[in-house]
Amino acid sequence: MSALTHFDDAGNAVMVDVGGKPITDRQATARAELVMLPATLAMIIAGQAKKGDVFAVAQLAGIMAAKRTADLIPLCHPLPLSAVTVDLIAANATTVEISATVRTSGRTGVEMEALTAASIAALTVYDMCKAVDRGMRVEGLRVVHKAGGKSGDFRQE
């Protein structure tokens, strides 16, 4: 495992200098699951949530969040994103699977943007449905794929 890059020799937090790195195409995909009562997911699928189309709003929230990651995570670089996709699907009667993929051509990766998009999409579903199901759980937030840059490809499920 390599040394932590966000600290200098004195232990101070630093933003990594990526100025000397080459610009390459980069992509990352993050996933999360939102577990809820069967009645809650049935309500979402039927379009009966009082706040509107839950999946559409969560998708938009995830895209917006990816674009604002540097405003939320203190040492992230602001990146010109070329694409963000957020998908929400009912995996079974109690689980929504959320997948967020982010692409850029730049000097640093987009893992944080993908993680932010997936997490904010999940939190948006929670917010829109908490009145009927306060026991919802966000689980398994993780990067499942990363491509580009010096470290190359990474995959996990």
**Which position among 8, 71, 127, 153 bears the catalytic label?**
127
Which residues touch 63 (CB under 8 Å, ≥6 apart)? 84, 85, 86, 117
9 is catalytic: no
Which residues touch 3 (CB under 8 Å, ≥6 apart)? none
Per residue in 126-142, is it b (16+ CB within 10 Å) or e — as a string? bbbbeebbeebebebee
124, 130, 132, 137: CA torsion to nearest 10: 90
| 156: alpha, beta or left? (left if phi > 0; alpha if psi -120 to 50) | beta
40, 42, 48, 49: CA torsion to nearest 10: 30
Among all residues, which ones are annotated catalytic? Answer: 127
